[in-house]
Structure 1
């Protein structure tokens, strides 16, 4: 955040010397990036508050809310401002003055943002595994890293667009190119805003665990000797590092209540060992039959929201 603020000041100084709308758009872009990071820090801090009567599952989703604000407000403001400046510069072009300032600041910023982007990539590699980058951004449950990755990618591309606009304006002597570079920055920010808004909206509504995590949970449940099989399971992320698990499990018909209780305790322990973020677990014991299983699947297919399979 401090680095982005320093880059924003450098870009703004270059704008004052050059009058370049691309430099002004990039200044606003860097200020927006700093604001984004401040909001993510606030969301991270507020998400750590203890649960209470009003919010019994805690405040983990605060991180999703602030990431959504980043997408909708700050990126959108940056995009709208850049688009307006680009259109204005194309309509009323003027030559870029003292272009050396713009070139010097842009090259410095590209180096700095490149280092930041490299750091974000190295951090993400620990979590990405064999997934593609698109899949990683779509499935990531912690919003901060995808936001920073897209921020840094957008910052690098925005600097390249600004460099293109300023260079073309200087080479051709036509200030309209400066406006074209600014428009390109605006479109870039708008695209990033849309992508982030869609992803964080999905997290706000409520996403379940990934298929791999659900398979681990089912395997842990069925490894308990008192559990015959998993009849039904639902998961929900209460926050990036907190998962709710609700499952109906089949137990043996001749088990005593004490044996069922021990089996449930053992199953919960196995789940937490396999998936440490599974913090809230509700297990409902039941007797399994093929007829009831088919009826439940038919009810889910007909009306998923009212399948009747509720964990208690």
Structure 2
């Protein structure tokens, strides 16, 4: 999963780097606002992918005294930074350029160069988007696309998916702006296309921020994982009640499980130790992403189990 995400990010980064240079050259020769906005868009995307790769490298660092559960949340932090950059730099510059060209419209030159650059960009972006879609389809299982994004604990993959999708929409907007400007002779269409590109980026950034903020704060494991762990625990005859079952994603592939359970009165301290050790092995074997399991022996909560589960 991590290697697949890294491959997708590197492919997108190399493609965006080449596309950005091409777009800026085209913007310099044609004076197209939409092409300049697209150049800024691709530059921001390139920087974003560098940040994601840095976040993945940091997240892979081993645990230490300062970070006893590792640095898995680094990837969540950098994904949130990416959302801010898309909004602040990508959307902000594009909308600003569009407004400037609407106020002082100038007819772009050499439209054929714009078409050639847009066509090449669509090929590169289409290839990157196809790779991202293939990798995400492999990991999403039977869930729908939107539900899979909402449930994903690996933002590095859906961030690239969002970026590439926004890039394709931006290219379509730029193509429409250049074409309408050429057909009508009105350069304001070029400026309007730049504003549309900025709005696409702003929407993408907002969605990314919404999807990553929960991960950054600390989301629990998928409900089916929690339900399966609860079932494992309640199947133990030595345990009467689950007072509380809590999970926390410390990273895409690092889950912490905490359990508060009421053991049967007949169980000795040795029996309790044995059951705790067995549960630890059983849960980790069933769910490899679970790295730490904490079990607390506690009398039954007089107000009833927090989890709502008992025998």
Normalised by the length of structure 1, the TM-score is 0.91
Following TM superposition, by how much is the alpha carbon of 1:261 offset from its aligned partner in structure 2, in angstroms? 0.5
Give SS of 1:53's match. coil
Distance 1:216 1:77 in 2: 44
The residue that corresponds to 1:35 in the other structure is 47
- CA drift of 1:50 comes to 2.0
Alignment of 1:104-253 (within 5 A): 104-253=116-265
- 1:133 CA drift (Å): 1.6
| The 10-residue stretch of structure 1 (130-139 or 226-235) with the greater mean CA deviation from structure 2 | 226-235
> SS where residue 259 of structure 2 aligns?
strand
Match of 2:105 in 1: 93
Match of 1:310 in 2: none
RMSD between aligned residues: 1.7
- 1:229 and 1:249 in contact (8 A); partners too: yes
SS at structure 2 position matched to 1:33: helix
Distance 1:227 1:144 in 2: 40
Give distance in 1, aligned partners of 2:57 and 2:134: 24
Q: Indicate the larger mover: 178-187 or 192-201.
A: 192-201
- 1:214-244 Cα offsets, whole Å, 9 max, x none, are 1122123234453344331011111111011
In structure 1, the partner of 2:7 is: none
Secondary structure, in 3 states, of the residue corresponding to 2:261? strand
DSSP 3-state at the match of 2:220: coil
Distance (whole Å) between structure 2 residues aligned to residue 216 and residue 275 of structure 1? 10
Deviations 1:141-161 (A, max 9, x none): 111011011001000000000
Distance apart, 1:74 and its partner CA: 3.9
1: CA distance, partners of 2:242 / 2:126: 48
Q: Does 1:70 align with 2:65?
A: no
* Matched-pair contact (CA < 8 Å) for 2:256–2:290: yes
Deviations 1:245-292 (A, max 9, x none): 111123221111111110011111111111111111111123447xx2
**Structure 1 residues 149-200: Cα deviation after superposition (integer angstroms, max 9, x where no partner):** 1001000000000001000000001100000100000001111111111221
Q: Which runs of 5+ in 2 are unaligned?
A: 1-12
Report the counterpart of residue 96 of structure 2 in structure 1: 84
TM-score (norm 2): 0.91
